[in-house]
Amino acid sequence: MSGGSPAKVSVDTGTCIGSGQCVRLAPAVFAQRDEDGLVALLVARPVGPQRQDAETAAALCPSGAIRLVPPPDAGSRPDVRRFGGPTAGPGRGR
């Protein structure tokens, strides 16, 4: 996932177990909340080395609480037929 447009980091505090692995691997991107030790996001769209560190943290998160969501591709469009567009229905799209 390296390179290109910045991916968005998504954290799930309901899944986080507070191991602190993310903070050790990407301290510029993640912190731990003082009140419960769960993940806190510092940078939502890291770039360069921070993005690489965030990718590593997501891959090694023991609870799977961290994900990197790629940005939508501005050049792609959904297949209208797949979503029941104008070619769907009786007598259409045949």
What CATH number does residue 38 fall under? 3.30.70.20
Rg of the chain taking only CA atoms, in angstroms: 19
**What domain range includes position 64?**
8-70
Given pLDDT bands bounded at 50, 70 and 90, which one contains residue 72?
A: confident
pTM (predicted TM-score) = 0.72
**HSE on the CB side for 47, CA within 13 Å?**
4
Q: Write down the pLDDT at residue 89.
A: 47
Total domains in the fold of the chain: 1
Q: What is the band of 21 on the pLDDT scale with cuts at 50, 70, 90?
A: very high
Residue 88 in any domain: the answer is no
Tokens of 67: 């994900």
Residue 13 domain flag: yes
